[in-house]
Amino acid sequence: MSPVAKQSINPLSPKERIKVPRQLMPEQPADERNKNFEEVNLGYGPELARQEALRCLECAKPTCTDNCPVGVKVKEFVELIVAGDFLGAAAKIREDNVLPAVTGRVCPQEDHCEGKCLLSRKVKPLGIGYLERFVADYEQRMGNHVLPTVAPTGKKVAVVGSGPSGLTVAGDLIQKGHKVRVFEALHELGGVLVYGIPEFRLPKQIIREQLDYMRELGVEFETDVVVGRTVTIDELIEEEGYDAVYIGTGAGLPQFMGIPGEHLNGVYSANEFLTRINLMKAYKFPTYDEPMVDLHGKDVAVIGGGNTALDAIRSALRLGARKAYVIYRRSDTEMPARAEEVHHARQEGIDFQMLTAPVEFVSDGNGWLTAARCVRMELGEPDSSGRRRPVPIKGSKFDLPLSVAVMAIGTTANPIVQSTTPGLGTDKRGYIQANSETQRTTRRGIFAGGDIVTGAATVILAMGAGRRAAGSIHDYLTTGQW
């Protein structure tokens, strides 16, 4: 049976579609972009987008949508691109995804929609992320948002945290007619999208545009509010009259290795390093007041192998680092970072020190980092994570000269909300307990999702949780049933 629907407007037969190569994403040349903060990927134009869209097999049972945490109707929006209706395609995505310009850039599509694309059995999968980005950017350039009109329900929802999961909840619920107010601890909205992900992967202008759109929809925002400190969840419910609360406070406290020398000047957590750069614009010192260590001509390493590690080290390179290393204790195959990011990083000249781990940070005698004392590792038996456990090789110790080391080895749960909300259940690691389908916590009317429930994950998984939560908050507000 042909997967192609009969009434398709696509002029190509399935066989012809398979022969069309996946359209390459235009990029800034590696030796230019490693010196600036402009975007690496430049985006499809209308021609490339239509050409790519023609490759879609229009499966009767689209596994792409099934594997999307927010359930974007891929087949339908791609067909609208084939038809040349780019704004229609954008509106179609927005039915399920309030941040398409963001996910079009940072979602690991290879683990979701593209990973299950039927094309990938024979050729490269459909460039769904690239297409999503194209229509989202097209819509933005046209300045043509279609604002849905809905009758107000009279219900009020407080969203704690303005990261991807909180914004998804807010975007979905405002379109159901509920009043929504988002509380953010920092002075700028967007959570990890603004303090964590660098400009060259996700320009801040994109987030500002998405936030403007949400304001047009009627979402209210309040910055400088640390829920749990400035106001508690119970006060939001009892004193400010919120009918439901969603907690999306995100990634928590940065972890350190507990090795000697981690307190030396020049040793940063990835969160601090990226926050200084992305949120505080420390690299524009003295135009901006927040300082950071001047990286020009310095040797810098990041410890860790995830996307955050790569964001940090690629930022260091752009800020003038002479040598920029990734130190990772396992091998390429175990690296959690996206393949595209690893590829981009190698192109830019990042030096990957695989199967290597620091055991000590060495001081210059004045409190500043001068080297990382490292050991080489080999992979032994699988550990509890199923990955082969790295084991130090005897006698392999060596010193890697460094001025700055950035620790990107994960986070633990931030306790502020949990410790100030009586009755809110947490798991052994301190993350908030929430039902994986309804995102309900152990407290009536309180929902949670994203990294504060799962531990560090991805933007799209946080948005998926937000989507589920919005559905279940809506049910709760309309039925009153818990």
Give the single-character DSSP code of 431.
P
200 binds other proteins (CB under 8 A): no
- Using CB under 8 A as the binding rule, whether residue 291 contacts other proteins is answered as yes
The span of 280-288, 338-346, 449-457, 465-473 binding other proteins (CB under 8 A) equals 280-288
Cβ distance to other proteins smaller for residue 281 or 387: 281
**160 pairs with which residues across the strands?**
183, 247
In whole angstroms, how close is the CB of 256 to other proteins at the nearest point? 6
- 122 Cβ partners below 8 Å, 6+ apart? 18
DSSP codes joined into one string, 390-418: EEEPTT--EEEE-SEEEE-S-EE---HHH
Chain-centroid distance, C-alpha 57: 28
Helical (H) or strand (E) element with 352: strand 351-353
Q: Which is nearer to other proteins, 169 or 185 (CB)?
A: 185
The stretch among 137-145, 271-279, 390-398, 437-445 that binds other proteins (CB under 8 A) is: 271-279
Is the alpha carbon torsion for 112, 255, 248, 291 positive or negative? negative
Give yes or no for residue 268 binding other proteins (CB under 8 A): yes
Burial label, 157 (beta-carbon count in 10 A; 0-12, 13-18, 19+): buried
CB of 402 to other proteins, least distance (A): 16
- What whole-number distance in Å separates Cα of residue 230 and Cα of residue 236? 11
Closer of 129 and 266 to other proteins (Cβ):
266
Determine which residue in the list 19, 263, 322, 346 makes contact with other proteins, applying CB under 8 A.
263
305 near other proteins, rule: CB under 8 A: no
CA–CA distance, 276 with 319 (Å, rounded to integer): 12
81-89, 103-111, 206-214, 248-256 -> range binding other proteins (CB under 8 A): 248-256
> Would you count residue 322 as binding other proteins (CB under 8 A)?
no
Q: Residue 408 CB, nearest distance to other proteins (Å)?
A: 12
**Restricting to residues 384-443, which ones interact with other proteins according to CB under 8 A?**
414-416
Which is closer to other proteins, CB of 182 or CB of 251? 251
Q: Is 165 in the site for other proteins (CB under 8 A)?
A: no
Which residues, other chains included, contact 73 with Cβ-Cβ below 8 Å and sequence gap of 6+? 65, 92, 93, 95, 96
Q: Closest separation between CB of residue 395 and other proteins, Å?
A: 29
Which residues, 6+ apart, have CB-to-CB distance to 110 below 8 Å?
125, 338, 339, 340
Nearest to 298 by CA among 316, 322, 324: 322
In the bound complex, what is the minimum distance in angstroms from residue 275's beta carbon to other proteins?
5
Please report whether residue 276 would count as binding other proteins according to CB under 8 A: yes
Which residue of 100, 125, 166, 252 would you call a contact of other proteins, by CB under 8 A? 252
Closest separation in Å from C-beta 329 to other proteins: 20
Most distant CA atoms of the chain, gap in Å: 75
Token code pair at residue 307: 């996307």
Q: Does 87 bind other proteins (CB under 8 A)?
A: no
Interacting residue ranges for other proteins, rule: CB under 8 A: 185-187, 195, 223-226, 229-231, 251-254, 256, 258, 262-265, 268-269, 271-272, 275-276, 279-281, 285-294, 367, 414-416
